[in-house]
Chains A and B, each alone.
Chain A
Amino acid sequence: MTGQPPNWAPGADLATLCLRADVVRDLREWFFQAGVLEVDTPMLSAAAATDRGIHSFAVPSAGQSWWLHTSPEFPMKRLLAAGSGDIYQLCHVFRDGEAGSRHNPEFTMLEWYRLGLDLDGMMDDVETMLRALCAGRRDFGPAQRLTYRDLFLRTVRLDPFETDAEAISSLLRSRGVALPEGGEHGREALLDLALSTVIEPSLDPARPVFVYDFPPWHAALARLRSGQPTVAERFELFLGGMELANGFHELADAGEQQARFEQELAQRAEAGLELPPMDWRLVDALRAGLPDCCGVAVGVDRLLMFLAGAASIGEVMAFDISRA
């Protein structure tokens, strides 16, 4: 068992822990200089994410369930609706079942909101912040921007809006990716698998790639823009071969927000998943008025993986879930 640290020891070495502390300090300084207010919202919430692909930890107390937040998004939007202006938060978030070389059930998220920026402006903001943060640590090449549709067309010659499950299945098979067990799978799930296993590894790791205009089934909390095809005003940033950030032109329509929550809960019910309480306070805040804004969440641990050249998330955390 050579090379295995003892079971009490941290997963990150001291140099990485110092890098982590430096990066956090620089982040706070960057946002302070940019005039973005730091906020601190609760980790324990009476409501939870309804997204079918996200699972909250339930915390029982005094005969009721509380939920560990999976992102600070809902309360931060309530602050925006209350007139906070630009805000950011650096916090731990929790996602049940997400563990692997790039996932830990508890991880550090940096989330910020900018009023009056469109999706392009928000991508600029993310790039500026990352370039400032990475300068002198690990430089990267010029950023590339392309739509979700172009990403698929250029890398695997499939139009994600037009293709069918059979075409994606044969792509996956030809790349040696085993198809999911358990019968028929829809186009959406297979596109997700292709993105994670075929497309993401093919991106230049030394260069930020912003992918934007996602299909409407991946809208989450982003606005839809009608057109041919209708797209969700959302972007993801890939760097170092990983998805590093996720940004939205935030949905501000209370009625549509409520409808999406209800639709997600119906999908959960159909899939036999837990039905957590939806966040009425967010719906009420949107009804009171959310300023036009964009928001983005960055996985800080993955950013550190990029900076440290680490192959697994446990190498940049003091104690990952296997040591927690």
Chain B
Amino acid sequence: MATYSTNEFRSGLKILIDGDPCVIVENEFVKPGKGQAFNRVRIRNLKTGRVVDKTYKSGDSLEAADVVDTEMQYLYTDGEFWHFMVPDTFEQYAADKTAVADALPWLKEQDHCQITLWNNAPLTVTPPNFVDLRIVQTDPGVRGDTAQGGVKPATLETDAVVKVPLFVEEGEVIRVDTRSGAYVSRVKE
């Protein structure tokens, strides 16, 4: 079983705490002139997303979490699982609803996503930063209507709803920043 000593702590390191995979977000080494050194770390639980602060005596070790990030192509969903494939090896992985939950509004077939595998099973799915999606429903824009700050809701092919400028029309493809859910631009086909 692999372990990491506090010496090896750095942001991005994946460790196991109380059986859950976690990532170190921040690591601070503190030590008085003489005496006990400590590592104060901020840790995000990769299953729950919860962030906690912990203190370890320097020299302590934590179990490594077998967590790797892999780029995969999204293939399809059978309603229960979402299926992804590693392009180089054609190896397929099935992600459950919990793993895809955050990515679901942006998940389009053929797109490449980052899959975080824990013990070789998908733990989280991160969509590309920008995705191009077709608008399946939006009201016709009225020129000069700025009552809504010049934007209107538009439903995309993935059922996500984003705010788009008034001039954008139904049937058009738009680019969305998946990190903020914000409209970026129209995409010419």
B121 → chain A closest CB, angstroms: 27
Using A180-B38, A189-B36 as known contacts, say yes or no to A196 and B55 having CB atoms under 8 A apart: no
How far does the Cβ of A215 sit from chain B's closest Cβ, in whole Å? 10
CB of A103 within 8 A of CB of B29, answer: yes
Q: Are B57 and A197 in contact (CB under 8 A)?
A: no
Which residue of chain A lies nearest to B56 when distances are taken between CB atoms in the complex?
A181
Q: Which residues of B in the span 17-34 have a Cβ within 8 Å of any Cβ on A?
A: 27-34
* Residue from B6, B29, B37, B55 in contact with A177 in the complex, judged by beta carbons closer than 8 Å: B55
Asked if B38 and A193 sit within 8 Å, CB to CB, the answer is yes
Q: How far is the CA of A138 from the CA of B40 in the complex (A)?
A: 31
Stretch at the interface among A6-14, A30-38, A82-90, A92-100: A92-100
In the complex the two chains form, is B34's CB within 8 Å of A220's CB? yes
Cα–Cα, bound, A192→B31 (Å):
7
Whether a CB of chain B sits under 8 angstroms from the CB of A188 is: yes
Q: Does A236 contact B (CB under 8 A)?
A: yes
B7 pairs with A182, CB closer than 8 A: no
Cβ A178 vs Cβ B7 within 8 A: no
Let me know if A164 is at the binding interface, CB within 8 A: no
The answer to whether A196 touches B53, judged by C-beta atoms less than 8 angstroms apart, is no
Pick from A97, A197, A214, A218: contact of B37, CB below 8 A: A97
**CB distance A98 to B38 under 8 Å?**
no
Contacts A103-B31, A196-B31 hold; do A188 and B36 have CB atoms under 8 A apart?
yes
Q: A97-B59, A181-B60 are in contact. Are A192 and B29 (CB under 8 A)?
A: no
Contact in complex: B37, A98 (CB < 8 Å)? yes
Residues of A contacting B58 with CB < 8 Å? 97
Q: How far is the CA of A96 from the CA of B34 in the complex (A)?
A: 15
User: How far is B5's CA from A196's CA once the two chains are assembled, in angstroms?
Assistant: 21
Chain A contributes a number of interface residues (CB within 8 A of B) equal to 35
Q: Assess whether B30 is in contact with A179, with CB atoms less than 8 Å apart.
A: no
A198 to B29 Cα, complex, angstroms: 14
Distance in angstroms from B35 CB to nearest chain A CB is 4
* Residues of chain B within 8 A of A218, CB atoms compared: 34-35
What size tier do the contact residues of chain B reach? Answer: 20 to 34
> How many Å from the CB of B26 to the closest CB on chain A?
11
Task: State the Cβ distance, B156 to closest chain A Cβ, in Å.
Answer: 31
The distance from the CB of B117 to the nearest CB of chain A, in whole angstroms, is 26
Q: Inside 8 A of A60's CB, which chain B residues have their CB?
A: none
Task: Give chain B residues whose Cβ lies under 8 Å from the Cβ of A234.
Answer: 34
Q: How far is the CB of B69 from chain A (nearest CB, A)?
A: 18
CB of A191, distance to nearest CB on chain B (Å): 8
The answer to whether B30 touches A197 (Cβ under 8 A) is yes
Q: Which residues of A contact B37 (CB under 8 A)?
A: 53, 97-98
Chain B residues near A51 (CB, 8 Å)? 34
In-complex Cβ contact of A179 among B5, B6, B34, B55 (8 A)? B55
Q: How far is the CA of A168 from the CA of B59 in the complex (A)?
A: 22
Contact B57 A100 (CB under 8 A): no
- Judge whether A246 and B33 touch: CB under 8 Å: yes
Partner among B28, B29, B56 whose Cβ is within 8 Å of the Cβ of A180: B56
> B29 contacts A189, CB within 8 Å?
no
Which residues of A, 179-237, contact B by the 8 Å Cβ criterion?
A: 179-182, 185, 188-189, 191-193, 195-197, 200, 214, 218, 220, 234, 236
Q: Find out whether the CB atom of B28 lies under 8 angstroms from the CB atom of A101.
A: yes
Q: Which of B35, B38, B54, B59 has the most CB of A within 10 A?
A: B35
B45-76 to A contact mask, C-beta < 8 Å, 1/0: 00000001111111110000000000000000
Contact between A97 and B34, CB atoms less than 8 A apart: no
Contact B34 A193 (CB under 8 A): no
Partner pick for B56 among A176, A182, A200, CB 8 A cutoff = A182
Q: Is A243 engaged at the interface, CB distance under 8 Å to the other chain?
A: yes
Interchain nearest-CB distance for B20 vs A (Å): 14
Inside 8 A of B56's CB, which chain A residues have their CB? 180-182
Tell me whether A97 and B33 are in contact in the complex, defined as CB-CB below 8 angstroms, given that A181-B54, A189-B57, A196-B38 are known contacts. Answer: no
Would you give 29 A-B contacts (Cβ < 8 Å), ordered by A?
Answer: A53-B31, A53-B34, A53-B36, A97-B5, A97-B7, A97-B58, A98-B31, A99-B29, A176-B53, A178-B40, A178-B54, A178-B55, A180-B38, A180-B56, A181-B55, A181-B56, A181-B60, A182-B56, A182-B60, A188-B35, A188-B36, A189-B57, A193-B36, A195-B32, A196-B30, A197-B40, A218-B35, A236-B33, A246-B34
Which residues of B are at the interface with A, using a C-beta cutoff of 8 A? 5-7, 27-38, 40, 52-60
3 nearest A-B pairs in the assembled complex, by CB-CB distance: A100-B29, A196-B30, A192-B35
Q: Which residues does A use to contact B, with CB under 8 Å? A: 51, 53, 96-103, 176-182, 185, 188-189, 191-193, 195-197, 200, 214, 218, 220, 234, 236, 243, 246, 273
Given pairs A100-B28, A180-B38, A243-B32, 10 additional interface contacts (CB within 8 A): A51-B34, A53-B37, A98-B37, A176-B53, A178-B53, A189-B35, A192-B35, A192-B38, A197-B40, A236-B32
